């Protein structure tokens, strides 16, 4: 068998490191290592979450603007320790549960167009939402 046909996966760590540098340069991020908090003052997307999961594990994430996990094909929400979140959206996925969503959202909460059609009462079981809930 010829070695040129053997699958060689790209190194995920190298790609995530590049993404981390880009993430920290383009998005206003404040990292407090003593309190183990990361404050992001721009919108947080799923690709940003992958960087946070890799490099800031066990940190509390404060997403001032909001968290957008829309249309990512997610079957479950990623486990992440959110401190405060301005806005949260997990619409257009394949979710059957809201487990893993932030406990508190200061803006609105969007979770429509998933496998399960959530109710406002179900959202309230997982999260305290200060603004509107869109299901």
The burial class, CB within 10 Å (0-12 / 13-18 / 19+), for 84 is: middle
Residue 74: C-alpha distances to residues 46, 55, 66, 100 (Å): 10, 21, 18, 12
Report d(CA 87, CA 107) in Å as an integer: 5
* Model pLDDT for residues 45-60, shown as the tens digit of each residue: 998 888 888 888 889 9
Q: How many residues does the chain have?
A: 135
For residues 19 and 101, which has the higher predicted lDDT (pLDDT)?
101
**Predicted local distance difference test score (pLDDT) of residue 94:** 97
Q: What is the pLDDT of residues 2-52, one digit of tens each?
A: 555 554 455 656 666 777 776 666 567 788 889 999 888 888 899 888 888
Residue 36 has a pLDDT of 92
- Contact criterion met (CB below 8 Å) for 32 and 55: no
Instruction: Say if CB 109 and CB 120 are below 8 A apart.
Output: no
0.85 cut: is pTM over it?
A: no
């Amino acid at each position: 068998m010829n070695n040129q046909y053997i699958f060689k996966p790209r190194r995920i760590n190298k790609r995530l490191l590049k993404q981390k540098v880009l993430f920290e340069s383009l998005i206003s991020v404040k990292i407090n290592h003593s309190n183990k908090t990361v404050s992001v003052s721009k919108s947080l997307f799923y690709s940003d979450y992958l960087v946070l999961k890799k490099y800031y594990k066990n940190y509390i994430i404060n997403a001032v603007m909001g968290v957008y996990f829309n249309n990512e094909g997610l079957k479950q929400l990623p486990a992440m320790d959110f401190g405060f979140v301005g806005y949260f959206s997990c619409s257009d996925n394949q979710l059957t549960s809201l487990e893993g969503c932030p406990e508190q959202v200061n803006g609105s909460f969007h979770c429509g167009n998933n496998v399960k059609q959530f109710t406002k009462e179900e959202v309230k079981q997982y999260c305290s939402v200060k603004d509107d809930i869109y299901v």
